[in-house]
Amino acid sequence: MIRLALPAPLQKLWAVSFIRFLFVGGLNTIFGYGAFAVFVLMGLHYVLAALFSTVLGVLFNFKTTGTIVFKNRDNRLILRFFGVYGFTYVLNVGLLKIFKELGVHVLITAAVFTVPMAMVAFLLMRLLVFRQSEAAVKADLLVATRELRNLLRDLFMEPTGNTVVQFFRYLVVGGAAFIVDFGILYGLTHYGGLYYLTSATLAFLVGLGINYTFSVLWVFSHRVIGNRWVEFGLFALVGVLGLGLNDLSMWLLTSVAGLYYLYSKLITTALVFVWNFAIRKVSLFR
């Protein structure tokens, strides 16, 4: 049976408020930058775009940070939130103005300074809004450091039967195979002049070899079939079926739907990745 439980170190990390703080910071960062980008692309001046995205960010961040990180639902703290974000808004607009005068597009500036600005905002919130004692912060950091070390060991070093960890490792392996696959596809099609489906097939086969090697050595800890040749044959069969799904999807997306072949490849890769992992996990490995 497939186990979907999170690794124990990851569960312990989530119990640390500092780790939840970082997670929520990433979530808020994505929301804030996404809102800013939407407003800019709608044609708003960057000052107004920063203002509107900051206001929305305050409301979104207040609820996520208070509820998820500090377990605090006191809505009276919203005024302190506005104070912190008023400061960060002025700082943000100042940076946008300076770099705009230097010829840097505001979206690029916002992307570069997104993480530093988020760190400043989070620090001010911890000190001025959701006040934590210095001892509590240090305790969180110590626990987070220990559990992060354990998590990295579980993710990368120890043999595991945990499906979440295996999926993560398979994702890493798949990412490496995809880079090779994508590069071969582009090189053979763009420079070699091959038909894109021929290139896709050859690239897919190379990716299959990479996937099998690292699946056996690193991703999965238990093998259902003792005969390695039979195992590889079934592994390859899943890959062949995935290849058919790959080529069919690329044909439908490129020749029928009219998408550029590299965009088709991106969509197809995600579909075939999930197919390959699920089938191989159920039939070949544990």
Burial class (CB in 10 A: 0-12, 13-18, 19+), 195: exposed
pLDDT tens digits, one per residue of 24-55? 878 888 888 888 888 888 888 888 888 888 88
Confidence of residue 5 (pLDDT cuts 50, 70, 90): low
CA–CA dist 25, 14 (Å, integer): 14
Q: At 20, which amino acid appears?
A: R
pLDDT for residue 1 is more than 50: no
CA–CA dist 65, 78 (Å, integer): 11
pLDDT tens digits, one per residue of 76-110? 888 887 888 788 889 988 998 998 898 888 888 88
pLDDT tens digits, one per residue of 102-149? 888 888 888 888 778 877 877 787 778 877 666 766 776 677 677 777
DSSP per position, 80-138? HHHHHHHHHHHHHHHHHHHHHHTT--HHHHHHHHHHHHHHHHHHHIIIIIS---HHHHH
Angle, CA 168 vertex, CA 218 and CA 15 arms, to 5°: 120
Burial class (CB in 10 A: 0-12, 13-18, 19+), 227: exposed
For 36, 51, 90, 215, 277, the CA distances from 48, given in Å and listed in that order, are 9, 5, 12, 50, 46
pLDDT at position 9 is 57
Residue 188 CA, chain-centre distance (Å), reads: 29
Identify which of 18, 107, 19, 32 has the alpha carbon closest to the alpha carbon of residue 62: 32
Backbone angles phi, psi at 285, to 5 degrees: -130, 170
pLDDT at position 116 is 83
CA–CA dist 24, 141 (Å, integer): 16
Task: Show Cβ contacts of residue 91 under 8 Å, excluding neighbours closer than 6 positions.
Answer: 117, 120
pLDDT for residue 248 is more than 60: yes
